[in-house]
Structure 1
Amino acid sequence: MAIGELATTPPIGPGWLVARIGERTARGVASTVSGLIRDGQVPPGTRLPTVRALAAELSVSPTTIAEAWSQLRTAGLIGTGRRRGTVVLEPPVAPAPGGVFSGWSAVDLEHGLPDPVLLPPLEDAVAAGVRTERPGGHDVLTARLRSAVRTDWPFPAEAWTIAAGGHDGMLLACQAVARPGDTVALETPTAPWLLDLLRNSRIHVVGVPCDDDGPQPAALAAVLATHRPVAFVYQTRAQIPLGHSVPPQRIADLAAVLSEEDLAVIEDDDLGPLATASPVSLGTHLPGRVLHVRSYCTAFGPELRSCVLGGPATLIDQVRRHRGPGWSSRILQNAQAFLLTDPGTSVLLHRAARRYAQRRTALSDALREQGIPASGRDGLGLWIPVAEESRTLIALAAKGVSAGEGRRCHPASGPPHLRVATGQLPDDPALVADLARMIGRAVHRGRISSVD
Structure 2
Amino acid sequence: MSTEPDATWLASRLTQHTARGIALEVSALIRSGTLAVGTRMPTVRDLAFTLGVSPGTISEAWSELKRQKIVSGRGRGGAWVSGDSATPRPARMGSVAHFGADVLDLSLAIPDAGLLPPLRAALAHAADAEKLNSYERTPILPALRQAVLPHWPYAPDAFLATNGGYNAVYSVLHATVLPGSCVAIEDPTAMRLLDIIEDLGAELLPIGCDAEGPLPDQLAASLARRPAALIFQPRTHSVTGRHVSARRLQELAAVLAGSETLVIEDDGVGDVSIHPPISLGTTIPERVVHIRSFSKSLGPDLRIAVLSAPDKVIRQIQSYRSFSSGWTSRLLQAATAWLLEDAATTQSVADARRIYAERRRSFLSHLAEHGIAMPETDGLCIWIPVESEQYALVTLAAHGIAVLPGSKCSLRPTEHVRLATAVLAQGHERVAAAVARAARRGD
Global fold match (TM > 0.5): yes
Q: 1:128 aligns with which of 116, 122, 125?
A: 125
1:218 match: secondary structure: helix
Structure 1 segment 61-100 matched on structure 2, within 5 A: none
1:170 to 1:308, Cα distance in 2 relative to 1, 3 A: same
One-letter amino acid of the counterpart of residue 189, structure 1: P
Partner of 2:360: 360
Contact 2:294 2:304 in 1 (8 A): yes
Query: Secondary structure of 2:401's match?
Result: coil
Partner of 1:6: none
What residue ranges of structure 2 are gaps of 5+ in the alignment? 1-98
Q: SS where residue 382 of structure 1 aligns?
A: strand
SS at match of 2:402: coil
- Residue in structure 2 matched with residue 203 of structure 1 by the alignment: 202
Residue 168 of structure 1: aligned partner: 167
Q: 2:300 and 2:159 mapped to 1: Cα distance? A: 21
Query: By how many angstroms is 1:131 displaced?
Result: 2.0
Question: Partners of 2:185 and 2:364 in 1: how far apart?
Answer: 27
Q: Alpha-carbon deviation of 1:271?
A: 1.1
Deviation of 1:140 after TM superposition, in Å, equals 2.4
Name 2:396's counterpart in structure 1: 396
Gaps of 5+ in 1: 1-101
Letter in 2 for 1:321: S
Distance 1:251 1:424 in 2: 31
Determine the structure 1 residue equivalent to 2:87.
Answer: none
Cα distance between partner residues in 2 of 1:376 and 1:412:
24
Residue identity in the other structure for 2:194: L
Give yes or no for contact 2:386–2:438 (8 Å, CA) kept in 1.
no
Q: CA deviation at 1:208?
A: 0.9
Q: Percent identity?
A: 38
Name 2:176's counterpart in structure 1. Answer: 177
- One-letter identity of the residue aligned with 2:333: Q
Provide the rounded CA distance (Å) in 1 between the counterparts of 2:172 and 2:109: 22
Instruction: Provide closer, same or farther for how the CA distance between residues 409 and 283 of structure 1 changes in structure 2, counting only shifts above 3 A.
Output: same
Q: Aligned residue for 2:332?
A: 332
**Partner residue in 2 for 1:251:** 249
- Specify the alignment match of 1:16 in structure 2: none
What is the aligned partner in structure 2 of residue 436 from structure 1? 432
Aligned to 2:383: 383
Question: In structure 1, what residue type is equivalent to 2:399?
Answer: K
Partner of 1:302: 300
Superposition deviation, residue 447 in structure 1: 3.9
Structure 1: which amino acid aligns with 2:380?
A: L
CA distance in 1, matches of 2:102, 2:423: 12
1:272–1:296 Cα contact (<8 Å) kept: yes
- 1:256-303 CA-to-partner distances (Å, cap 9, x unmatched) read 000011111000000111111111111111121000111001111112
User: Distance in 2 between the 1:376 and 1:182 partners?
Assistant: 37
1:346 maps to amino acid: T
Aligned-pair RMSD on alpha carbons? 1.8
Q: Is the 8 A contact 1:157 1:311 kept in 2?
A: yes
1:279 match: secondary structure = coil
Q: Distance in 1 between matches of 2:189 and 2:101?
A: 25
CA deviation digits over 1:88-125, x for unaligned, max 9? xxxxxxxxxxxxxx998554411111101100000111
**Are 1:375 and 1:384, in contact at CA under 8 Å, matched by a contact in 2?**
no
Amino acid at match of 1:129: A
Q: Residues 145 and 236 from structure 1, CA distance in 2 versus in 1: closer, same or farther, beyond 3 angstroms?
A: same
- 1:277 pairs with 263, 272, 275, which one? 275
How many residues align? The count is 341
Q: Aligned pair in 2 of structure 1 residues 108, 144: CA closer, same or farther (>3 Å)?
A: farther
Equivalent residue for 1:19?
Answer: none
Distance in structure 1 (CA, Å) of the matches to 2:153 and 2:351: 23
SS at match of 2:301: helix
* Cα distance change of structure 1 residues 108 and 323 upon mapping to structure 2, 3 Å threshold: farther
Distance 1:328 1:409 in 2: 29
Please say if residues 155 and 281 of structure 1, whose CA atoms lie closer than 8 Å, have aligned partners that are also in contact.
yes
Give the Cα separation in 2 of the matches to 1:212 and 1:264.
24
TM-score, scaled relative to structure 1:
0.73
For 2:369 and 2:321, the matched residues in 1 are separated by 49
Asked whether the 8 Å contact 2:387–2:415 carries over to 1, the reply is yes
